[in-house]
Amino acid sequence: MFTGSMVALVTPFNNGQVDWQTLEALVEFHIRNGTQGIVPCGTTGESATLSHQEHDDVIRAVIRAVHKRVPVIAGTGSNSTDEAVRLTREAEKSGADGALLISPYYNRPTQEGIYQHYKKVASEVGIPIIIYNIPGRTGSKIEPETLARLAEISNVAGVKEATGSVDQAIDVIRLCGDRLAVYSGEDSLIYSLMALGGKGVISTVANVAPKETAQLTEACLKGNWEKGREIQFKLIPLIRSLFLETNPIPVKTALSLMGKCSGELRLPMTPMAEGNLTKLSQAMREFGLLH
């Protein structure tokens, strides 16, 4: 099973195109710094504005660059079940170790519709599937009871919990036990969810602080709660600065300040407001990312 710090990787652009060289360099940056899984083409990877071809190509490029050194969990979600099946099949064919699928957005399906969506995708592939529960993006929450039903499906392996509710995580872990791995989808709650039995994080902050995020999850997995708490507290101001505006605007801006990518975004994402950029830069300096 996947454990530890898994980065929700940004997709670097240059003049409107995917910057393949920078994408490979980012993968190396993560592997050097202890990231334990790479998740391309998620929300942080601007999957919503990638063409279908780009989506498949980015996943393939990351798999090639990783070269089996850590797991690659491909973002393959869609609000169309058929499209989610196609993306997940293609990722499996390309060699992905797993897939992360957002719950269908905009459609706002019932709990039964959510269950049938994931059941259908899972039945079409052999790789493990991680469910992504983020009501703020989708307009619907996956209830713990629905996740318990989905946990009965053999290759439904985990859930990325981004409801922001510790109560939700408690109920999921209580109902599903070891049948479903729970990963934090909120960087500020990594420690809290892992203390309850979570297995790691699919992280935005790991894009800029991969070593510290990996150290946090490693400490929690080993039961070194004092060290884990210390790292979580250290990360909090940086995490908050990365969500001053809609993700991935701040994290891409941060990476550009670090010289890791151009920081280019695709509309409707727009450059960071000057006041928020000042706050982000200050948090990065205090953390030691900028001098």
Any residues with CB less than 8 A from the CB of 256 and at least 6 apart, and which? Answer: 262, 263
What pLDDT, on a 0 to 100 scale, did the predictor assign at position 291?
A: 84
What pLDDT, on a 0 to 100 scale, did the predictor assign at position 98?
A: 98
What pLDDT, on a 0 to 100 scale, did the predictor assign at position 152?
A: 97
Could you tell me which of 261, 264, 247, 267 has the C-alpha nearest to residue 276?
A: 247
What pLDDT, on a 0 to 100 scale, did the predictor assign at position 1?
A: 81
pLDDT in tens, 73-111: 999 999 999 999 999 999 999 999 999 999 999 999 999
Angstrom distance (rounded) from CA 172 to CA 175: 5
Catalytic one of 132, 191, 199, 252: 132
**160 is annotated as an active-site residue:** yes
1 token code pair: 């099973």
What pLDDT, on a 0 to 100 scale, did the predictor assign at position 54?
A: 98
**Domains of the chain: residue spans and CATH:** 4-222 (3.20.20.70)
**132 is annotated as an active-site residue:** yes
pTM above 0.85, yes or no: yes
Catalytic one of 68, 119, 120, 160: 160
Task: Give the residues of the chain that fall short of pLDDT 50.
Answer: none
User: In this structure, how many other beta carbons lie within 10 angstroms of the beta carbon of residue 167?
Assistant: 9
